[in-house]
Every structure is written in structure tokens, then in C-alpha cells.
A and B are shown apart, each in its own frame.
Chain A
Amino acid sequence: MSEGAPPVTQPDEQDDEHADEPTPETAADASPQAKPVTSGAEAVIRALENAGVEYAFGVQGGAIMPVYDALYDSDIRHVTMAHEQGAAHAADAYGIVAGEPGICLATSGPGATNLVTGIADADMDSDPMVALTGQVPTEFVGNDAFQETDTTGVTTPITKDNTFSSDPDRVGTDVSEAFALAGEGRPGPTLVDLPKDITNAATDREPDAPKTPDTYHVQERADEEIVEAAATRIETAKRPVMLLGGGVIKGEASEACREFAIEHNIPVITTMPGTGAFPEDHELSLEGAGMHGTGYANMAITNCDTLIGIGTRFDDRLTGGIESFAPDAELIHVDIDPAEISKNIYAEYPLVGDAQTVVEQLQDAIDSSPEAKKWRVQCQQWKSEYPMDYPAPEDEPLRPEFIVEALDEATSDRAIVTTGVGQHQMWAWQYWTYTEPRTWVSSHGLGTMGYGLPAAIGARLAADDDQEVICVDGDGSFLMTIQGLSVAVREKLDITFVVLNNEYVGMVRQWQDAFFDGRHSASEYNWCPEFDKLAEAFGANGFRIDDYDEVADTIEAAVEYDGPSVIDAHIDPQANVYPMVPSGGDNGQFALTEDQL
């Protein structure tokens, strides 16, 4: 039905059950060629289509079947995952790379609870994501029915907002609203719980256009008066540093921040989620700070007098002990979420607003660049004092850092890296030179082992064809979600998985050596599956690396291969991650070797 067409029946002839044509008002929201919806489930899918959704990641099951049945006729490409956790991580990574909410679907009960880790991960990292879960029919809710879980109850603390749909005429709009909310302001996961009777019910009600609830407000521009004061502070700063967080990338402010830093010659540090917000090969870049940040970033953040933190929540892995965090610095804190201001670190200059808008406001307000000549020299000197050089004797076991650098070398600047969590994640972060936003896809706040493989699937589908997708994983992380390899093979996804295999839960082993007298409780595998052969069994291309002279050729072959390949890279099992600031420690006192811990 086209926009503005007259209703077939007169309004007074219509009754609720017989509204077999959409009203002109709702029809206006649907695309002209789309067939009118006939059920709650079709309204759910229509809401996704209207929002421009191209991919959805999920697993079938009883209570979500009506939604899948409606999806069968849709142009949305559904990627059938091997496990719901993987569906959530894939949707999360899709959201990071695409900048649009990723969609995951699961059935009620175990389907929904399997999503929980992925939802919590997205919540911690403010990644835009919509989870749609089936639910038992409304009349059974509360009776402990088969596969019933209180999904909205379970996910309340880990979603930006969630909704239990209770009206077939409203269910499509619930999904539209969840989509809008996931991406607006500070992004995050939203969830719509879909009872089977609601999705099965007849309705002709087209979903409303995506719109956030009327109680949801986002402040775009910061208070001018504080902007002026902050600009003055920057002008007179003697030791300024910019700290770019994940909010810079999510707020599309990377370019504005880069211009600001370069014009005013201010050294730049990125948080881990902010990786890629500023090119790491630029001389102003000090790379990342915090627990495993570079020595120079940690020296700079500890000794600065003016800290311009943008889109960062001052997580404890960044700050170390609060008492010793940037103790001489006045903080200019830019964040779109007012609750992040002065939550962990008091902000002398609180600037609530959209990152890009506020950086432009600051740019307009600033009259001169800070002098800070000695400071810039000092930062460069720290760079030469604390190089990230590692010893790599040819006759000793392979260094993981060498493999990461070789991977970086073998791929383009826009290649995307996904990781699990642990030592391999830190090496992938430290030794790859990131120059573009949305090329680092990792689990930061929640620290979810097993994130890397499903994330690579989501990232692959969101990425451009010329972007390589490399999953740098650990043996422990890889084993946690390895079933997803079947999805990569089935969907013929061009991904290179590189397992930095030390047959340990390596980060735990490193901590046990440092803080638990070397007692390796439950951290030694001493045996791992042969990942190259396992890959072959899955139908992927398997490779193995043991020595330095195999590295370059193997990586080239794996990256060249058009499809999923797995490199089982046997690294020095005793390799540790440095620098390291122990939990709650002083960033400026980072350890360079174990005996400094």
C-alpha cells in the first residue's frame, strides 16, 4: 500500500480484529514495496528491516521460532551460530566495526542465558547491540514453564534498557525503539523479550520508525562557560596530555581529536577501547597507558598537569591506584554520559556532550597552543628510554611479539584485529601499530576469554572486502568458543585465526609467578589439541609454526587463503607481558621485569 492511499474500509466499519489494511499513518513507515505485516513476528522483522539491518546472528529454538519463520522471507542475512554466546559476541563486534547496532537472536531459557555473557560484554564496552529473545507464551510466564527464564530480570543490570513485549500491536515498535536506543548517545545493548503468543498473534500494525523513548535525553553540546575555562587551561598547560577513549571512536570524533592534537602539539594516549582513535605511528602518539601500557604513556599520564580525557570512563586497568593516578593533573573530562563525570576521577572541567561536538567547541574556544616545549621533549625522551624492544634470539623459542609484528607487516593498515583475553590480547595490543579507528575489536571491561573467534565472524561481515580480519587468540581463549569455527567455514568467511599457543592460561600463570609463589594452580594445560589439525577437521585451512624461519611464509599463506585459516603458533611458554602495573599500583612505577614487581 502506498503512502497516503485511502483506507479500503471506512474507519467506522473497522473493528479491532478486522483491521486488515494498515492505516495510512502506519503504512507511511513501511517501504512502498513491502507487504503489510500480518503477525507480531513479522512486525519484529519489519522493524529490523526499517532500521536498515543487513545481518543478524543467532541460534534457533522453540520460543523464537515464529520470529525465525518471519525472518525466512526477509532479505536480512541470518548467520546461524554454533552457540548463543558467539551470536552475542558476533553482534557486538559487528556493532564495533559497522558503528550500527549488531543484532543477535536466541530462544528463551538457555538461549537467553547463553547470550548473557555477550550482553554483559557489550554493556561494559558500550557497544551498540540489540538482543531479541524468545519467551514462553504469556500465560505460562511465572509458572517455571519449559525453557522459561526471567530474561528481563536477568539482563536488567547488563542492558542499557530492556523490554518485555506484551502487545502484538506494539511489539514491532518495541524493537524499533530498542534499536534506536542501542545506538543513541552512549551506545549499549538493549533487549526485547518476545513471548511466543505475542509473536504468533495476528496484527497489521507496522512498527513506528526507530525513535528513542521520550524519557531519554542526550546532551550534545557542553556548557560554553566550562568550555571557555577548559580552553584557557589548555592554553596555559605546561604538561598537557590527551587521553582518547572508546567514546572517541563511537562518537566519530577521531578526526577532530587528531586535528586538535596535531594543531596544538599535544601528546596523545589512547585507552585500550580507544585504540586506533589516533595513529600510533604519529610522533605525538604515546600509545596506550595503564596496566600493560607503554612506559612512555604511563610516565606521561602520571606526570602531566592537564589531562584532556575524552570518551573514557577511567577504568581501574587504566588508572591503577586512584591515589597515584595523574596526581598533579587537572582533568578536563569530555563524556556524553554525565554519570561518568567524576565517577572515578574528579573532573575540574566537566564537559558533558558528544565527543566530536565538544572537541570542536574546544577548538573554537582555544586562542593559542600550550607552550609545553620541555614537556614534548620529555615525552620523546621517555619514548627512547622505554622502547618496546624485546629480545628474540633465533635459537630460543618463538617470541609472541615477533608473530604479532609479522602479522601487522603482512596486512594492510585497515586490517582488523580481534582478540580473546589474556597475554595474547596484550601482545596484539602492544606490538601491532594501529592507525585507524574500528580496527581493534576486543573485550575490555568484561574481559571475556573466547571473545576473539565469534568477534572475528561479526567483524568480517561488517568489514569492507579489502580489510583483512585477523583473530589473534590464545590457546585457552580459542578453546572456549572454538565451535564457532564451523560457522566461519560454513559461511566461507575470510578470517585468519592465529593461536599464540603456550599451553597455559598464560596471564594467570604470569600472575601466579609474580604474586602466588609460582604455584601454577589450574593454569597449566601441558597439552593442547593440535589446532592446525582441528582446523582441518572443521574444514578450515590449518598451519603450524614452531620456528622463526616459518613465520613470514606461513602468515603469508594463511592471509592469502580465501577462507578461514588457523595458525597454531607455538610460542615461548614462559613469555610474559611487560610493562606491567600491578593491580591498584602506581602507573609511573610500572615494572619492566618480574623482579620489579
Chain B
Amino acid sequence: MTGGLEGPPPEERIRPTGRRNKQGIRIDPEVEAAHEPRRTVISALVKHEPGVLAEASGLFSRRQFNIESLTVGPTENDDHARITIVVEEPDPEIDQIKKQFRKLVPVISVRELESDAMRRELALVKVTAERPDRVAAVASMYNATTVDSSPETATFEITGSQQKIEAAIETFGQFGIREISRTGTTALARGTSTTAAPLSATESAADGANQDQQYPADDD
């Protein structure tokens, strides 16, 4: 092969001592600070138009964001829909999800909900009902409503937090579960706090760009 250039070889060059972690954050090589994934709910107000759901779900898959559930439904305004996603990612990725999501043109606003936000999921659970009395006892324990029953099966509707639904499913498991269908989590912020509102003039698309980020206010 030909070519090649003159100059001090790699081993003779000065090298910085620092390094970055995989998220591009400078770290002390002695104390590797890894960001742990956490579960959180992100709510987005979007234009109610064809393709918006495909656009959102496509974004998450192609950027390899780990989405646990995604729900979509109409809102108080016919022109808007709300998409609620539950993600489990470290903080830098959660920031990226919010920013990339916000960048989609049909997306009006995006917000990560507080941990005390109201989160609900609905599940339909069809069990074998050979012992109706015991099945009914479990159902009442979880405030489950009977939706359908046949000589062999009973189907219940359970609404609540994800944890409650998982506990219910586990308990119903003793009777033999035939089929389950779950909606995924939908959520709203509590009280007067808005979940994801249309942008006001003072807010910008860049809000949250620097969320949870500390910059050094003064320098040494």
C-alpha cells in the first residue's frame, strides 16, 4: 500500500487523562457513575390526524427507546389526541425521548408526569370458572367487574394501577387464565397541573431541552 504521512507515532503523543461514559458524559475514571434506568410516564398532546401514531411508534423503535406501553385516545378537543407512553430508561435517554418526540411536527407538547400522577390501566381477564364462588371472591378483592360469564368461563374487567392489575392477574392465575387483553397505561397529572397542554406563547419547543441539567454557573 502506498501513502502515509510523516509525524510522531501514536505512542509518542500526549494523551488526556479524562474519559467519557457511553452517554458522552465526562467521568472520573475512578468512579464510574452509571445512570440507572427508571420507569416514568410521558404524555404528549398531538394533532389528531392520520399517521401520527405510526410516526410516534416508528420513532421509538428506530431510536431503540425501550417503551413498555403506548396508548392513544381522543381528548376534550376533537382536533387533538393524547399519547401516553411508559418508558424504562436512564435519565439521558428519557431526555432524548422527550426531545425527539417533541420534534415530530404533529406533536403539540410533551411532558413527563410527576411520580404522583394518576395512572390507570384496564385489563380484561378470562378465566376458567369451574369454581364460581372462589373466582367471585378474588374478583371482589380487586374490585373487578364481571363482563361476561359462560358455564366454563368468566371474564372480568380490572381497572387500576399497573401493579394492581399484575397482582390481580397473578391471583386469578390459580383458576387458569384463558386469555388476557390489557390497554397499557393512560395517565393525567393531578389537580390544576396540566398533563400536556397546547403551547402558550411563552413556552417554546425548546423547553426542557436543558431539563435536569446543571451547568457550571461560575468557573474556576
Binding site for B on A (CB under 8 A): 152-153, 156-157, 160-161, 164, 181, 213, 215-219, 223, 226, 229, 232-233, 236, 295, 299, 302-303, 314, 322-325, 327-330, 337-339, 341-346, 348-350, 352-353, 385-390, 396, 510, 513, 572, 574-579, 586, 588-594, 596
Contacts and interface: CB of A to CB of B under 8 A. Distances in A.
Contact of B206 (A338, A346, A586, A593): A338
A450 to B, nearest CB: 24
Given A327-B19, A346-B25, A164 B215 contact: no
A579 to B, nearest CB: 6
B216 A233 contact: yes
Given A343-B96, A350-B213, 9 more contacts: A213-B105, A217-B204, A295-B7, A323-B21, A350-B215, A387-B5, A389-B5, A592-B5, A592-B7
Contacts, number: 182
Nearest to B218: A232
Query: Dominant SS at the B interface?
Result: loop
A303 B20 contact: no
Interface in B1-21: 1-10, 13-21
B215 A348 contact: yes
A548 to B, nearest CB: 15
Nearest to A302: B16
Contacts of B62: 157
B20 A596 contact: no
A23 to B, nearest CB: 24
Contacts of A322: 20-22, 24
A160 B107 CA distance: 13
B52 to A, nearest CB: 10
Interface string B79-123: 000000000000010011001101111111000000000000000
B31 interface: no
B26 interface: yes
Given A226-B210, A323-B20, A589-B13, A339 B99 contact: yes
A152 to B, nearest CB: 6
- The residue in B23, B51, B104, B215 that gathers the most chain A C-beta atoms within 10 A of its C-beta is B215
Nearest to A591: B10
B5 to A, nearest CB: 4
B191 interface: no
B9 A346 contact: no
B51 A592 contact: no
Nearest to B101: A339
Interface in B202-220: 204-206, 208-210, 213, 215-220
A299 B9 CA distance: 12
Contacts of A341: 99, 209-210
Contacts of B217: 229
B1 A342 contact: no
B20 A218 contact: no
Given A327-B26, A387-B5, A219 B204 contact: yes
B199 interface: yes
B204 A215 contact: no
Contacts of B26: 327-330, 346
A342 B16 contact: no
B37 interface: no
Nearest to A576: B3
Size class of the contact patch on chain B: 35 or more
B20 A342 contact: no
A588 B15 contact: yes
B141 interface: no
Nearest to B10: A589
B198 to A, nearest CB: 9
Interface string B21-65: 111111000000000000000000001001100110011001000
A342 B6 contact: no
A337 B103 contact: yes
A330 B3 contact: no
A322 B26 CA distance: 10
Contact of B9 (A160, A303, A345, A592): A592
A389 to B, nearest CB: 7
Contacts of B208: 338
B205 A217 contact: yes
Nearest to B26: A327
B98 to A, nearest CB: 9
A314 B62 CA distance: 19
Contacts of B19: 323-324, 327
Contacts of B199: 215, 217
A219 B206 contact: yes
A303 B17 CA distance: 9
Nearest to B3: A576
A325 B24 CA distance: 8
B47 A215 contact: yes
Nearest to A592: B5
A327 B20 contact: yes
Contact of A346 (B24, B55, B104, B218): B24
B201 to A, nearest CB: 10
Contacts of B6: 386-387, 389, 592
A352 B7 contact: no
Contacts of A576: 1-4
B213 A594 contact: no
B51 A215 contact: no
A388 B18 contact: no
Contact of B3 (A233, A344, A390, A589): A390
A216 B205 contact: yes
A328 B18 contact: yes
